[in-house]
Structure formats: C-alpha cells, structure tokens
Amino acid sequence: MSGANDDHALRSDNLRMVGKLAVVALLMFAFGYALVPVYRSICAALGINVLSLSERALPGVSRAAPNTQVDLSRTITVEFDANARGVWDFKPAQRSLEVHPGELATVVYEFTNTQPRTMAAQAIPSYAPKQATSHFNKLECFCFNEYTLKPGESKRWPVVFVIDPKLPKDVTTITLSYTFFEVGGKVPAEPVAAARAKEPRT
C-alpha cells in the first residue's frame, strides 16, 4: 500500500514539475518575442530612439519639407553609423557629410541579407549628441517601414534629412546611427508544395 502511495506522490511531483517547466518555457518565449518592442519603449523613454509618431509613415500624410532658411554661416558634420543585430551586411555608402543647417541632404544605406532564408527586419535610429535629436528632421527614411528580404537580396535606401537652423551653436557634429533588428514572426511559412519539392526523392 505504501508503494502505491509513493508512486502516486511521485507522479504528482512530476506533473507539478512539468507544469512549472512549461510556464518557464512560455515566459522565456514571451520575453524573447517582446525584446524589440521593449527596446523601443525604453529607448523612447530615455530619448535615445526617436522613432516617434512624427517619424512614422502615416497613410495619407505627406512629409513636406520644413519651411527653413539655409544658414550658410554654419557647417555641421553628420557622421553615419550602422549596427546589425544579425547575420547580414548593413552599412552607409559614406561615413560622413558636411551640410549647412536648413539644407536638404541625402545619404544612402546599403543592406544585404546574407542568410540562406527570407527575413523581416526594421531599423531603429538614434542620435548623438542627445540635444540634436529634435533638430534632425528626416523627410524620407527606410526606418519608417519593415522590410522582407529574400536570401542574398540587396537594397539601397536613401535617407533625406534637414538639420533645423535652431540647432544649438555649440553642436558642430551629429552622429546618425541605425540598428537593424530582425522582426520575429513576420516571415510567412514556406508553402507546402515548395517544401515538398525540396525533399530528397527516394
């Protein structure tokens, strides 16, 4: 009788342990899936990520150039940086550009998916120094959208921007940095017919 009771207690303990492990696994999955949104929220709160509502692509809203005057008395050096959180190539076509406040400028970023699979990703911008954030106006930017790229596919994306002449006088260099993150769960599953076609024939 005691042996049956011991077996029953052991099964109960095992079931409780399996339940706890399942909860831990679900929590870990949820945490990994939420990393990018959490990162965006933290960066927005700290002011190091300015992918704000004013920068997002909104249907039916055009981005007209701000009504500014070009300040020829000042020259700002804009440095371009790229960070890739994954196995792909991501870089600016040029490392720096000198512009006058109020002058329309363009830089191109290059991206190549070097993975053997389709991926979905989006870039998040940040600026240094922090006080330049509200004075760096992007009229066109690939960071407004998510992109799906096939294996080996390459893209060249322009960033069109204007620096507000109200930029503090002591700021002479601005660094524009992009970090590319893969967006989980955005790539559709491979069609069944295509998957079967890849299976080895016996």
75's tokens:
């020259």
- Structural domains in the chain? 66-182 (2.60.370.10)
CA distance 15 to 164: 63
Residue 23's pLDDT band, with cuts at 50, 70 and 90, is: confident
pLDDT in tens, 149-200: 999 999 999 999 999 999 999 999 999 999 988 887 555 444 434 444 445 5
Report cis status (omega within 30 of 0) of the bond before 129.
yes
**Contacts for 124 with CB less than 8 Å, ≥ 6 apart:** 39, 40, 43, 49, 51, 143, 178, 179, 181
For the chain, the average pLDDT equals 76
Give the rounded percent of residues in the chain with a pLDDT score beyond 90: 41
* pLDDT computed for residue 170 by the predictor: 94
182's tokens:
């893969």
189's tokens:
């599953």
Nearest-Å Rg of the Cα atoms of the chain is 25
pLDDT in tens, 29-52: 555 555 556 555 555 554 444 444
pLDDT (average), residues 62-80: 77
**Contacts for 47 with CB less than 8 Å, ≥ 6 apart:** 130, 133
Quick one: which of 163, 174, 160 has its CA closest to 100? 163
